[in-house]
Every structure is written in structure tokens, then in C-alpha cells.
Structure 1
């Protein structure tokens, strides 16, 4: 079967596409991987339905797109992990497959995924792509929304664009979780998630397009008073998440969705916390810290 890529976003035909004619479990040739990366450059989010894969197959597919991250962004202790360090456990399950209690520290930390964010912007070298596989999903809720930060940049007025161009924000999970009232961090976690600098405006290395790079992890702007910085970041996030820039994905079992964290923000939506939601994410690292990349 030939590879087919078709836009599926009713609002715009250049943001989000569905890819069929691909069997990730069987492996992907370099030519097919190059076609997928070309499609990512155009659409930023790709939905690959009915991909019945295990973690090894998902990881092998992900390596076509660059060096891989390890799962160091959560608070699960090694003894509590149910997945390898190659896989981010985006679930509400403990290591025995049981639903976490409502007040479990791991679950409360995971609620930060419902804030608008970009994966790993709290790391010195952030991520390039995320690939999220739906293994078990609740019958209702739990959608993932994606915001196109390229279109959001294009829609800013020239004065605000000029103000943003040279700004450097500081990102940390201490900011994002703190905004929810979660401050139960150990000294080790506070040291691990010290704020890191990221450009507020990025240029895509292949397309040359500019885009905003904001997230709930961003809690400061270098050289600005904190209240003013947070207000400005809040305004930019509200602008970027207007409905015209957003696509909501309703998950089906065995969907694999991949997106470009350099140009997309996303968030999970609420669902019945007593129901299983088991999602496995692999993450491709970017090439360098954003301050070392072309302006």
C-alpha cells in the first residue's frame, strides 16, 4: 500500500494530517522516514491510525528522526517505574497496572500535562518530536489539543513580534506544577529542574518559518520583572490557543500521534480518573539548546 497523507483539520489544511499505508511494526525504510519528516515540516502533527506496536517497535521507529531522549521528566522513582527509561509513561497507572489513587503524588504531578506545554522545554536541549501511542483509552474525554505556534506568530501584530524577537524565557517544571499549587518537590527535584533558558521566538531549521516558543513551563523572561514577564507570557499563550490555531484529537485505540515540539504546544483534556488511560511516549531530542540555534 502506498503512503497516503491527507489533511484532517477542518479549520486549516496546513496543520494536522493523517498518514495511512504505513506499518510501523514491520519497520520503515529511510525513504519512508524522509517522507514522514517532510510531512512533519508541513503539517507539524501527524496521526497514524491502527498502529499495533509494542515499546520496542515504537522506539525503533522513533530513532529514524534523531537521537532519543530518556524519560527523566517525571517524578516516579526507579523502583516505581513500570516502563523502561526509553519510554515516557503518560498514564494514570502504577507499576502493577492499577489506577493511581486520586491523591497520589505521581498523579497530581501528571495533571501538569493538562496545561499548555511543549515537551522537554525544561531541559537545556529540548525535544524535537514526540510520538504518543494509545494503548488503553477511556471511553470519554482525554482528548489531546494541539496549537500551531507558527500561525500564532504570523497573526501577531508587528509591534509585538518585534518585542518578542530577542527575548529569552526561562523554563522549569517548578513553574508549571507550581501554577497548579503543586510544590511538594524534594531538594533533588528542585536541583534537577532549575530553570533553563529558551528563545521566545524560534526559526525552524528546515522551513525557515518563525514561531512562538512558549509553554506553561515558562515562568520568567530574562531582564524583566517576574510579574510583568508572567503576564506577557500568559497573553501570548492566550493568543496562541485561540480556536483558529487549535486542533483537538479524539483518541482511538492504537492511534500513534507524532508532533513537532519546536512549533506546537499541546495539552491533555480531563477524563474520568478512575478509568485506565495508558499512553506510551517516545521523544526525539533536538540538535542543540535553542540559544545555540540560528535566530
Structure 2
């Protein structure tokens, strides 16, 4: 089958159709998708009809899938596969959660970010599928920003300044920025990940920014100076000419490349409307046949959650 592509912006974002994602894909069909991703950075698929199992199997076409933290034997989980990250506002019973840690943790999703930048091994694709969404007038959309074109439009002086800079990233920093009561000393005691803030995107050969809400500091720069540079680069990348939003309907799936984009969740009344979103995350640089790597970074990371955003509590509440 042939992929049909309708661009959203001239070089960023596309609505795709023409492939049956519920069925196994041929090598050529997978290449059609990855080619579209390399060009547009974000692809949107309406009314996919995917089950949880099909969502996971489709995602395996693109590499090794990260897994949610391991639970004790017999512990209840809302979703049936560890490869599915729960991006909802629901508890284990499928009702809107009132768990304070879960609510506090999710506030960070409203900031411009790249998934898993706080891990040593970065995420390439995030593949988010909508199961239940608020009514269109209630919000809950997702915004995307084009980090490649934004980089290309920077003044040469700024490009020279940031060329070899390395960002220090923390999950807890983004939660603190979103209002969680986490001391900076606590953040520094927990895992940090260092990534160049400019890199060459492998699929397109274009340079891209890799910087967003998880980026706490820049190596070699004084704190205030580095943080101002981070804020300036995020503000530049999220200008209207580089961004679009997607308003979800049940069955919609969006794939975005974290190595070429930023994204953030839109506002909605968290306490009034169910929003059931489930995400797979593909590790950068892995081949589809590498199904097991033997590591488990999320279990180790979440075991050290600060109390204000205790991920174990958030997970137990269904997030």
C-alpha cells in the first residue's frame, strides 16, 4: 500500500493515511513511514483502530521500546503491557485521579519538552494513541515545535556560541519548573543526563536543537547565564511559525521524533474530563529486532523520585 501525506506546515507535521496500521507492515511500508518522519518530524494518523497489542507491535517496527517501571509480582497495573506509558489522568480503576503526586507530576507535561531527555539513552520516536479525549471545546490538545528549522533560522553568532555546548538534563528539574516543591539540592543528588544541545539528525542530515524543559544547566556556563540561554532557545523554537497543535479524537495516533521536535500538552480541566492517552517510546539507535537489552532505566530512575512528585504514587494512581 502507498502512504498518503498531507503537510500541516510546509516542512513540519503531516497527516498520513493509506496504510492499515492494524496489520503487519512490509519493509517498504515501514520505510515510507520513516521517510515521512525524517521529512516532517511529526506524523498524524486518524481513526487508527489500534488495540493496545497492535499499538505495541506497530511500534516495534522502529526499534527497542522502553518499559514502565517493574512492579512487584501480582501488583495491579491499569495497562496490559510494560511498553505502554500511561499519559492519562486516570487511576487504576479508570476514574479521574485525585492523587496529589500524580496531579503534580503531570503538570510538567504542559511545558515544552522532549521525552526521556533525562535518560542517558535518548528517545527517538514517541507514539501516542488517544483512547478517551475531552470534548473539542474543552482543550487537551498537543502542541509541536520544529527544532530543525528553528535551529537553521538562528543568527550565525548564536550557532557559533552553542555548537559544542552540552546540556544537563533532569526529569525533576522540569517538575520543579512546573511548580513541584523539589529543592535544587534534591535534583543534583539524583540522576542527570548530559546531551549536546545541537546535534545532526541522522535521518535527514539536518542540524537540530536538543533542548527543552528537562535541560537544567549548560556545562561550562554560569547558572544564570546558561539558564537564560536555555530559555531564549526554547522561546525561539516555539514561535508561531515553527509550531502547530493537534486536537485529539479517540483513535488518533501521533508519532513525533524527539530528536527533531519539542512538544507540550495543552490545558484542560484535569478534574472534569477523562483523558486516556497511551504512549510507546522508541530508544534512539536500536534496530527493530533488538527486543531486549537487559537494562531498565525507568525503574532505577523512578525509585529515586522526590516526595512531591513520587512517581510510584503517581503510577499506583494510574497517572
Could you say what secondary structure the match of 1:129 adopts?
Answer: strand
Could you say what secondary structure the match of 1:16 adopts?
Answer: strand
TM-score, normalised on structure 1?
0.89
Distance between the aligned counterparts of 2:143 and 2:165, measured in 1? 26
Distance change >3 Å, CA 231–CA 57, structure 1 → 2: same
1:293 is matched with none
1:58 is matched with 55
- Runs of 4 or more consecutive aligned structure 1 residues displaced over 2 Å after TM superposition: 76-81, 189-193
Q: Is the 8 A contact 2:2 2:29 kept in 1?
A: no
Distance change >3 Å, CA 192–CA 267, structure 1 → 2: farther
2:316 is matched with none
Distance between the aligned counterparts of 2:22 and 2:245, measured in 1? 26
Q: Is the 8 A contact 2:111 2:178 kept in 1?
A: no
Distance between the aligned counterparts of 2:150 and 2:190, measured in 1? 28
1:212 is matched with 209
Tell whether 2:243 aligns with 1:246: yes
- Of the three residues 215, 231, 235, the one matched with 1:234 is 231
Q: Is the 8 A contact 2:119 2:193 kept in 1?
A: yes
Q: Deviations over 1:135-176 (max 9, x none)?
A: 000002001000000011011000000001000000001110
Distance change >3 Å, CA 190–CA 118, structure 1 → 2: same
Residue 77 of structure 1: how far off its partner (Å): 7.0
2:304 is matched with none
Q: Is the 8 A contact 1:175 1:219 kept in 2?
A: yes
Runs of 5+ unmatched residues, structure 2 = 287-319
Could you say what secondary structure the match of 1:98 adopts?
Answer: coil
Distance change >3 Å, CA 121–CA 228, structure 1 → 2: same
Residue 80 of structure 1: how far off its partner (Å): 6.3
1:276 is matched with 274
Residue 193 of structure 1: how far off its partner (Å): 4.7
Residue 184 of structure 1: how far off its partner (Å): 5.5
Distance between the aligned counterparts of 2:195 and 2:44, measured in 1? 28
Residue 23 of structure 1: how far off its partner (Å): 1.7
Distance between the aligned counterparts of 1:194 and 1:28, measured in 2? 38
Distance between the aligned counterparts of 1:48 and 1:13, measured in 2? 18
1:197 is matched with 194
Runs of 5+ unmatched residues, structure 1 = 289-295
Could you say what secondary structure the match of 1:70 adopts?
Answer: coil
Aligned length: 279
Tell whether 2:152 aligns with 1:170: no
Q: Is the 8 A contact 1:173 1:193 kept in 2?
A: no
TM-score, normalised on structure 2?
0.83
Tell whether 2:143 aligns with 1:145: yes
Residue 183 of structure 1: how far off its partner (Å): 3.2
Matches for 1:112-191 after TM superposition, within 5 Å: 112-139=108-135, 140-183=138-181
CA RMSD of aligned residues (A): 2.1
Distance between the aligned counterparts of 1:191 and 1:81, measured in 2? 31
2:284 is matched with 286
Q: Is the 8 A contact 2:4 2:18 kept in 1?
A: yes
Distance between the aligned counterparts of 2:125 and 2:118, measured in 1? 15
Distance between the aligned counterparts of 1:253 and 1:163, measured in 2? 44
